[in-house]
Amino acid sequence: MTTIHQCGTRTVTLASATRVGGRDANADAAAVVGTPLGVGAAVIDGIGSSPAVVAAAQLAACTAAVVAAHRGAQAGIMAAADTYPDYPGAPNAVGAVVSVEPGGRIEIAHVGDCAVWTWSKTGGLTRWTVDQTAGQHVTHMLGNPGLTELDRAALAEHGDQVVGALADYVLNGLVFATISTISWTPLRGPAGVADLVLLTSDGVHKALPAARIAELAETHVENVQALADALVDVAVTEPRADPDETADNATAAVIRLA
């Protein structure tokens, strides 16, 4: 359902959507909250499909969005982390949180492999988050200037396979998140000028290339609920390279800044 809020001089429109895909249960959750103090949005991707994981994701998403709306994205994601006590067998999740203040300041915080993007009619689509996964760490190491020629040769031969195998191996989750291990990005100046802010679980952005996400954003820029629905519907129906691969849970939250 679309909701409209006045955030300072900006009219902000919020929407979210989620689909179970081919999984046994939907362990993704999204929440979007608008108050006179600001806007908060969160996408949480639970690790696993048990009832406890599903319930924990829903609680974390609501908590993160409410806190982010008046205290910022960084506080929002740490509040979500506080809903995940660390004990043997405890539920865990990854997530992304966005806040928009009445003055227009946009902040992003994330843990794991949920993603945050901005889109504008002039600047197109920009992704602001880097996955906290073993695969992304290997990708980063491929550009390490300190590698020896032998290292480079080995990575050139096996790097793609290693990255693919470790792409879903999350290095950080909300159970283990601290203020020093979360990723926090405040958008300032031209970077903060956006028509849309998108939050996606990996079931969306691993199924859809950035060009496809940009195309959907441009098509549905005037209707954020249609955009949120399109992102998740296309993600779960897009043909897979591996025909035996089932579609992941897919979730998106959208903020339109007028």
Domain extents in the chain: 3-129+173-257, 133-169
Percentage of residues in the chain having pLDDT higher than 70? 88
Superfamily of domain 3-129+173-257: PPM-type phosphatase domain (3.60.40.10)
Query: Nearest 5°: CA angle at 2, between 59 and 9?
Result: 100
Among 56, 130, 145, which residue's Cα sits nearest to residue 96? 130
Looking at residue 42, its pLDDT comes to 98
> CA 94 to CA 57: how far, in whole Å?
9
Instruction: Specify the pLDDT at position 7.
Output: 80
Report pLDDT for 243.
74
Whether the per-residue pLDDT at 56 is higher than 80: the answer is yes
Q: Which residue has the higher pLDDT, 36 or 108?
A: 108
Distance (Å, whole) CA 233 – CA 228: 9
Average pLDDT value over all residues in the chain: 89
Q: In the structure, what pLDDT confidence band is assigned to residue 161 with cuts at 50, 70 and 90?
A: low
Query: In this predicted structure, what is the pLDDT of residue 148?
Result: 78
Instruction: Please tell me the pTM assigned to this model.
Output: 0.88
* pLDDT (average), residues 139-151: 69
**pLDDT score for 167:** 58
CA angle 18, 20, 25 (to 5 degrees): 125
